[in-house]
Amino acid sequence: MIDPDTDLVARAGRGDRAAAQALMARHLPKMLTVARRMLGDPAAAEDAVQDAFLKLWTHAARWQPGKAKFETWLYRVTVNKCYDRLRRRGTARLEEAEEVADPALPADSVMENAALAREIEAALATLPERQRAAILLCHNQDCSNIQAAEILQISVEALESLLARGRRTLRARLGHLKDG
């Protein structure tokens, strides 16, 4: 397995801040995207990703190349940090999210798209954590089923089952959008 991050992780493990910054620059956007979608709260997502990168800094010296790709490990850490935050906060935040106004909506069509996106995000937020993570990794982060299964530490068959159940639930909750 060829991992483009092996050298940077090894250097970061030896305390090379430039290598750690290069890893952050390379992976921060992807980790933020998955965390924002899992948590639905940009501030909480940034905190979760910060925790994930802190773990990178403290655990880079113990990294074992060839066991898994670094990006797979980092996704796993980020998803775990999101799970931790979801378990701590409960379910009250979903109702609050609906009342947040988006000041950047200049036109009716953009408003309709934003409303549709909020409805989809709300439907995603109702999925069990593992189904949501599987959907987000495969559909939003463009991970292969194999990579997503590694990230979630499950078999490919288990991932496919999570995807099927998640998609079925989303179709049921969002089926009314087909007509529109």
Sequential pLDDT tens for the chain (180 residues): 688 888 898 898 898 899 989 999 999 999 999 999 999 899 999 999 999 999 888 888 787 777 778 888 899 999 999 999 988 876 555 455 555 444 444 555 556 667 778 888 888 889 999 999 999 999 888 889 999 999 999 999 999 999 999 999 999 988 887 765
- Rounded to two decimals, the pTM is 0.60
| Nearest CA-CA partner of 166 in 127, 129, 137 | 127
CA dihedral 153, 159, 163, 165 (to 10 degrees): -100
Rounded to 5 degrees, φ, ψ at 95 are: -65, -40
- Domains of the chain, with CATH numbers? 1-94 (1.10.1740.10), 106-180 (1.10.10.10)
The answer to whether 131 touches 173, Cβ cutoff 8 Å, is: no
